Amino acid sequence: MLEIIQVQSIPIFMLLLVRVLAFFITMPLFSYRTIPLPFKIGISFFIALLMYTTVDTSGFVLDENYLFLLAKEIIVGLLIGLIAYLILAAVQIAGGFIDFQMGFAIANVVDPQTGAQSPLIGQYFYIIALLFLLSVDGHHLLIDGMFYSYQLIPIDAFVPFQDGRLPEFIMRIFNQLFLIAFQMSIPIVGCLFLVDVALGIIARTVPQLNVFVVGLPLKIFVSFAVLVVFLGLYMTLAKNLFAAMFEAMHGLMKLFGGI
């Protein structure tokens, strides 16, 4: 541990610290505003300190490219955390689809974790997904993925951003994101579509009935009933969501590592 406090080791430690800190700025759970900034800096410092004792830094040479390596580490950390956050955002998209059909789209709430408006059902799904992620030690897997990122993306190597595979990878991730969101929302959205069809038939057969007054509470009741029934299916989809998130992080690391 004495080597860590030597002056010549500070540039290497800074490269480790900025990647970990950038990762904690954008990753799910730790990036939220409800987590104090001193905690983020402190945990990033100690994780980088542990990584310094295990990551192979023997080939590092301090030269005029050091500032570019710092910028590369920041970009890598931000993008790895951002790709995990984007995949988890599929839950919010699914909640937006459901709220639009339920009529809750006019009653968005402010998420205290991100400071942005989010749909009611989306926020409910999102909290369950985060609790499920914590229950299966997903936060440990995220940190573990950051640790093993140094095997794919060494600190003394530059990222091939000019690689033509990067746009294709981003398009595939967005495609997967909306596919997962559609799978999460289709049970409730499909049932609400059938309710709309039934209300349309009733409106044609019984013109005296005001379907606009009856329809909204009926759709809310049906939505909650279907939500209770399909909650087990949602947990299975959340499991697939986390698997896709870790796979996307690994794929991005391999892409940045030129593999």
Query: Quick one: pLDDT band at residue 215, thresholds 50, 70, 90?
Result: confident
For the segment 181-198, the average pLDDT, to the nearest whole number, is: 86
Q: Give the per-residue pLDDT at 163.
A: 66
DSSP type of residue 109: E
Tens-place pLDDT, residues 64-80:
788 888 888 888 888 88
Distance of CA 171 to the CA centre of its chain: 16
**Residue 114 banded pLDDT, cuts 50, 70, 90:** low
Closest alpha carbon to 81 in 255, 245, 259, 256: 245
Q: How confident is the model at residue 4 (pLDDT cuts 50, 70, 90)?
A: very low
Please measure the distance between the N-terminal and C-terminal CA atoms of the chain and give it in whole angstroms. 33
pTM for the model stands at: 0.80
Q: List phi, psi (to 5°) of 69.
A: -65, -35
Q: Per residue in 122-176, pLDDT tens?
A: 778 888 888 888 887 888 888 888 888 888 888 877 777 666 777 788 888 888 8
- Structural domain for 7, as ranges: 2-256
In angstroms, rounded to a whole number, what is the distance separating the alpha carbons of residues 191 and 101?
Answer: 10
- Chain-wide mean pLDDT for the chain? 80
Please state the domain count of the chain. 1
